[in-house]
Structure 1
Amino acid sequence: MALAGMLLVAMTAWFVPWALAHTDWGNWWLAIPFVGCNVFVACTALLLAFNNSKRSIPLRVEVARGHEPLVGVIVPTASEPVDMVMATVGSVIDQRWPEDRLRVVVSDDGYSDELQARVATLAAELPHGVVSYFRPPKRGSAERIGESKAGNLNAAIRLLSDANCEFVETRDADDLVADPEFLRLTVSHMMLDDRIGFVQTIKESKTSEGDPFNNNELLFYRGMMLSRNADHCAFPCGSGLVWRRAALREIGHFPVWNLVEDIHSGVLALRLGWRGLYVPIVGAFAQHAPEDVANYFKQRGTWAIDSIRLFAFDRFRHMPWRMRLHFIEQTAFYLLSLPIMVLLIIPMAGLAFGQFPIDAAPMDYAVHFTGFAVAMELTMLAFAADRPLGAFVRTRVFLIGMAPLYAASTIRAFWYGAKKKPIYIVTRKTDEHRVYVSMLKAHWFLIAMIVFVLVMSARRDDFLLDFDPGSIYWAIVGLTGLGAFVRLSWFGVDVKRNILSRLQLRSKPDSHVQSDT
């Protein structure tokens, strides 16, 4: 990673000043966004290389048998399938932790009588007080602090105040305890270091073969989070997470300003001097992960809006600069969507109209841009070097394929502003497999534009003489990323069988018409 980073620095210094010196200001409408977006992409890649130049893996430390502290576990639910919730609660009880050292609260925002009865049945089989069912105040009531999951958690945690639980786990209703030593391997670090405010672990999901929607985020959980460890700024990711109760008391309550509370609560704790730790064990295993475009867009769009609102209106103030850079990198991942969209469109506009943002000989431009592009690709590849190639390819594809959604989320985040909170919708726990062509209008438009411009440009007599490697590079990047993501729009649907079925239905006579005989 260090060598790739140094190469990127050298190639950025080689390309960017040259591009500025050869900018065609006569075509300013192309030149300004083109150069500006290239600079943003370069800065993001340099930040990635800098932040991930070192990693820290904590030693394996376990709580000694017989010395387990009392741990409260909150399972917030909002109309998830009852069997799914009970499987999660059962996995909490079945891990290798004494039952009498647990206080599990199923906090039900769905007010399900069936769930209440099932929890009561389980509670009767366990020592008194181990598992309890709770209905938080209704949304909008004066007793409730916040809507959605944050309000649920804030209500449920009051039940643990009198139980003297020094540590509190928050576990999503569909997330099983994956490692039976989960609490033993996380709480141990907080017992040894009283400045650790929370411990986050890996979250994996039940996915189709090959994880087509990249739900397991291998590069994030097996790479980036270890780099955040090196600067003591791992942050909460919703589930597979244990908090120190004192840290939660100091931040007041789970924050309700953003759509979801996880990253924001970590920012508040880190700002107050608490440390975050990441332990690379699989602490949570989701029983379902979104594998249809509509549900996936909903989930990732929420994450994008959350991160961008934090960056724009919270600005990670009063945090050490190294720590702040990690959070900026997290946000830059989403903001990168805007320059990607611009860099897909501008080169195509140049090819279409024969006007380019750079005024230089094609070979001169090819030498400078190719080195810059190769250095960026090598930096990303070096970052993923110790991970499966498929994980790198999926991340690369999704960086381009999700650009239209993240660009829209960026605009929405700024439109809502600091005082108007977006509406939160719970991610579905079932898939709705169908053809989502209409949801990818931007993808189809960009693909059609790129193909049309390439075909028209190739027909020109001067195409080879004025060959533009930058435009061709972005065309290939765009077609690869957008095209691969379009394929997911009908994931789970047998398109051929679906078409044949429709044709057969059309060819059959109307069964409602009676014969004259």
Structure 2
Amino acid sequence: MDDYFRAFEDRRPPEPLPYSPAREMLWQFLATLALVVGGWYIWWRWTSSLNPDAMWFAIPLVLAETFAYVGLILFVYNLWRDQPIEIRDPPATLGDIDPTSPEGDRPLTIDILFATYNEEPELVRLGILDSKALNYPHEIEVKIHVLDDGKRANMRRVAEEEGVGYITRETNEGFKAGNLRNAMEQTSGDLIVICDADTRPFPTLLERTLGYFRDPKMAWVQTPQWFYDLPAGERLHDVMHRRLGLLGRWTGRAVEGVLGEIRLGEDPFVNDPKMFYDIIQRRRNHANASFCCGAGSIHRREAVLEASLRSFGASVERRVIAAEEEITLESRENRVSPELLEALRTAAVTEEVLTPYKFHVSEDIYTSIVLHSDREREWKSYQHPYVESKMLSPQDLLTWTIQRYKYAGGSLDILFHDNPLFRKGLTFAQRMMYGATFYSYLGSIWNVIFLFAPIVYLFTGIAPVSAYSNDFFAHVIPFLVTLELAMMVGTWGIAGYAAKASYLSFFPLGLKAIWTVLRGEKISFTVTPKDRNADTFLRLVKPQIAVLALTALGGLWGLGALWLGGTQHSLTGVVTNCLWGLNNCVAMWGMIAAALWQPPETPADTAEPPLMKAEETPT
């Protein structure tokens, strides 16, 4: 394990994307233009373009386009406005973050909690060592605790050797959420830092984040997650030089001179979360709608406990009302006696579980919704722009699949069973922001149509539009161009194609999560593995392989039909659907390549410098 970490210890996280008012204005103009042109295109598709002889094909495709356009509206709403980067002065006392506290002069107390189950204890030790080296300009009390749901003797030994707290429990009820609840019952810090087993804080974690809590309504601050072991890949000209010699090197340099730097083998799983944290989450700050993502977040204990009490009380009342309705229906009485009602309430209190963090596979976002919907306290959240910790990335497609399936299933379970769009207390902006997140996980439904539509045409010659005519291209091309320009400016500084391709190729996992939740099955709490499974995983990408193979065969079939004649195929139709299919194939290949990916034995960029001390980590 030491050798693995040594290879990446010298890496530094990227700086946050700078705020630019001029670029924001340009983005808003282009986004508005794209939505207007897109709305015009969708209207034309419904009113003037459907193939009347193939409505079985035309209707599903135009519905898919419409649903995707709704997702675009939500995405634009999410990205609409950014804010300048501002770091506030770190507080020194409890009174700085809670002016009403009678202990206002007391130094702040911070609990750093490492939630672990079956991860390597030495991995957790690294996070503990980094936490012990945190910088802070004032005298505060920092306590580190290992929350071991695995009840392991070697994990207890590591905690004792490092002089930090060790907390375990008899059962694993509620999994990570239950683990955190158990720890909160045994700790008392004013603020809580939540870490996963592989979280390694940088020295600046506290000094650059606690200033937000000077606002007494600030409930939690989320910091960006950064995977410091992502494969860096190899430059195109180096790969071509190794395979083709000097000619290959010159060719590779020429290609990169036109297209910019190209790296092969870089982050095959598209794990880099910069798009999510630096774009999506940061632009929710103005609407007080950035949500907690677990590791690397700092919470105000008072907010979490108070929200849990309110949620507990609401759940108890729902149980009482349901029982009261059942009794009145069976007894045909107008109301239940006060004595029986009190007995029902006592029973409900006994049955309901007080959960500071909701017992759910997506406990972080669920708890965020509960806090945001508390209109009496008006709790706030904030996405901090700077990376303040590092962690390990999924190292194989199986691990990636477990993680992404958990994200999708947990979000969809909330959407179907406790939809924030209808939750009392959330503002309109918060509903739209949460809606954008959950709606995105439904995209697999219409993405399947986008993937198979060109295949259907290429094999049958049946078009979903009345004709691939000049009128069609006059509507679709302006929309695609304005959309691409808007997204390029709106996400300036972050490459977006890999994320779009990954989203498209995600469709089998998304459909599985949707079907699982619709059947009423629970999404499991599988712990994401932290070590690599040295295997290939083509079995996990059979649907993507099928799309690629069918599209390739369809393209050959369509070209052959044009050559031989006597079919419904047209030249513009075949060319259009071949190009469409090619884009789909490129997206599918990214996932297939990830299934085949193996880490290089001696990567060029992973020499073994001495293990860095915590104080030498990035600031």
TM-score range, shorter chain: 0.7 to 0.9
Pairwise CA distance, 1:197: 0.6
1:279 is matched with 384
Q: 2:111 aligns with which of 61, 72, 87?
A: 72
Once the two structures are superposed, residues 125-169 of structure 1 have per-residue CA deviations (whole angstroms, 9 ceiling, x without a partner) of xxxxxx211112313xxxxxx421111111111011xx3x22111
- Note if contact 2:180-2:357 (Cα within 8 Å) is conserved in structure 1: no
Q: Does 1:152 align with 2:259?
A: no
Higher RCO structure (Cα 8 Å, ≥6 apart): 2
Pairwise CA distance, 1:470: 5.4
1:512 is matched with none
Q: 1:48 aligns with which of 66, 69, 75?
A: 75
1:424 is matched with 525
- Note if contact 1:149-1:260 (Cα within 8 Å) is conserved in structure 2: no
Pairwise CA distance, 1:477: 2.1
1:492 is matched with 598
1:90 is matched with 129
State the SS of the aligned residue for 1:214.
Answer: coil
Q: 2:428 aligns with which of 321, 331, 337?
A: 321
Once the two structures are superposed, residues 464-513 of structure 1 have per-residue CA deviations (whole angstroms, 9 ceiling, x without a partner) of 44525653443122111001221111111679xxxxxxxxxxxxxxxxxx
2:496 is matched with 392
1:203 is matched with 225
Q: 1:411 to 1:372 in 2, by over 3 A?
A: farther
Q: 1:247 to 1:493 in 2, by over 3 A?
A: closer
CA–CA distance in structure 2, aligned partners of residues 354 and 393 of structure 1: 30
Q: Please tell me the residue identity of whatever aligns with 1:7.
A: L
- Note if contact 1:292-1:431 (Cα within 8 Å) is conserved in structure 2: yes
Pairwise CA distance, 1:368: 1.6
State the SS of the aligned residue for 2:270.
Answer: coil
2:589 is matched with 483
2:541 is matched with 440
2:89 is matched with 62
CA–CA distance in structure 2, aligned partners of residues 342 and 494 of structure 1: 37
CA–CA distance in structure 2, aligned partners of residues 361 and 392 of structure 1: 29
CA–CA distance in structure 2, aligned partners of residues 289 and 99 of structure 1: 34
Q: Does 1:381 align with 2:420?
A: no
Q: 1:119 aligns with which of 130, 140, 159?
A: 159
Pairwise CA distance, 1:212: 2.8
Q: 1:455 aligns with which of 546, 549, 556?
A: 556
1:503 is matched with none
TM-score if structure 1 supplies the norm length?
A: 0.86
Q: Does 1:183 align with 2:222?
A: no
What aligned pairs does 1:272-351 form with structure 2 within 5 A after superposition?
272=374, 273-286=378-391, 288-316=392-420, 317-318=423-424, 319-351=426-458
Once the two structures are superposed, residues 16-52 of structure 1 have per-residue CA deviations (whole angstroms, 9 ceiling, x without a partner) of 1111122124322212210100011112122212221
Choose 4-13 or 148-157, whichever is displaced more.
4-13
CA–CA distance in structure 2, aligned partners of residues 121 and 464 of structure 1: 74
State the SS of the aligned residue for 2:387.
Answer: strand
Q: 1:224 aligns with which of 272, 275, 280?
A: 280
CA–CA distance in structure 1, aligned partners of residues 297 and 443 of structure 2: 28
Q: 1:393 to 1:24 in 2, by over 3 A?
A: closer
CA–CA distance in structure 1, aligned partners of residues 59 and 396 of structure 2: 38
Q: Please tell me the residue identity of whatever aligns with 1:274.
A: W
Q: Please tell me the residue identity of whatever aligns with 1:186.
A: T
Q: 1:465 to 1:329 in 2, by over 3 A?
A: same
1:194 is matched with 216
Q: Please tell me the residue identity of whatever aligns with 2:538.
A: V
Pairwise CA distance, 1:101: 0.2
Q: 1:155 to 1:57 in 2, by over 3 A?
A: farther
Q: Please tell me the residue identity of whatever aligns with 2:381.
A: G
Pairwise CA distance, 1:404: 2.3
Q: Please tell me the residue identity of whatever aligns with 1:221.
A: Y
Q: 1:415 to 1:383 in 2, by over 3 A?
A: farther
Q: Please tell me the residue identity of whatever aligns with 1:176.
A: R
Q: 1:265 aligns with which of 355, 363, 367?
A: 367
Pairwise CA distance, 1:66: 7.8
CA–CA distance in structure 1, aligned partners of residues 83 and 415 of structure 2: 25
1:18 is matched with 44
Q: Please tell me the residue identity of whatever aligns with 2:158.
A: R
Report sequence identity in percent. 20
2:307 is matched with 251
1:2 is matched with 28
State the SS of the aligned residue for 2:53.
Answer: helix
Q: 2:193 aligns with which of 153, 166, 169?
A: 169
State the SS of the aligned residue for 1:107.
Answer: strand
Pairwise CA distance, 1:423: 1.8
CA–CA distance in structure 2, aligned partners of residues 262 and 422 of structure 1: 15
Once the two structures are superposed, residues 106-143 of structure 1 have per-residue CA deviations (whole angstroms, 9 ceiling, x without a partner) of 111111111112211221xxxxxxx211112313xxxx
Q: Please tell me the residue identity of whatever aligns with 2:190.
A: E
Structure 1: gaps (5+ residues): 124-130, 140-145, 496-517
State the SS of the aligned residue for 2:114.
Answer: strand
Pairwise CA distance, 1:171: 1.0
- Note if contact 2:558-2:574 (Cα within 8 Å) is conserved in structure 1: no
CA–CA distance in structure 2, aligned partners of residues 361 and 173 of structure 1: 55
CA–CA distance in structure 2, aligned partners of residues 362 and 100 of structure 1: 70
Q: 1:121 to 1:467 in 2, by over 3 A?
A: closer
Q: 1:470 to 1:244 in 2, by over 3 A?
A: farther
State the SS of the aligned residue for 1:171.
Answer: strand
1:234 is matched with 290
Q: Does 1:403 align with 2:510?
A: no
- Note if contact 1:5-1:50 (Cα within 8 Å) is conserved in structure 2: no
1:501 is matched with none
CA–CA distance in structure 2, aligned partners of residues 472 and 374 of structure 1: 19
- Note if contact 1:167-1:243 (Cα within 8 Å) is conserved in structure 2: yes
Q: 1:133 aligns with which of 166, 172, 175?
A: 166
- Note if contact 1:57-1:280 (Cα within 8 Å) is conserved in structure 2: no
Pairwise CA distance, 1:64: 5.2
- Note if contact 2:559-2:574 (Cα within 8 Å) is conserved in structure 1: no
Choose 485-494 or 81-90, whichever is displaced more.
485-494
State the SS of the aligned residue for 1:422.
Answer: coil
Choose 42-51 or 98-107, whichever is displaced more.
98-107
State the SS of the aligned residue for 1:203.
Answer: coil
State the SS of the aligned residue for 1:79.
Answer: coil
TM-score if structure 2 supplies the norm length?
A: 0.72
- Note if contact 2:459-2:557 (Cα within 8 Å) is conserved in structure 1: yes
How many residue pairs are counted as aligned between the two chains? 470
State the SS of the aligned residue for 2:406.
Answer: helix
- Note if contact 1:304-1:406 (Cα within 8 Å) is conserved in structure 2: yes
Pairwise CA distance, 1:284: 2.2
State the SS of the aligned residue for 2:83.
Answer: coil
Structure 2: gaps (5+ residues): 1-26, 95-106, 233-265, 309-354, 602-619
Q: Please tell me the residue identity of whatever aligns with 1:486.
A: I
2:102 is matched with none
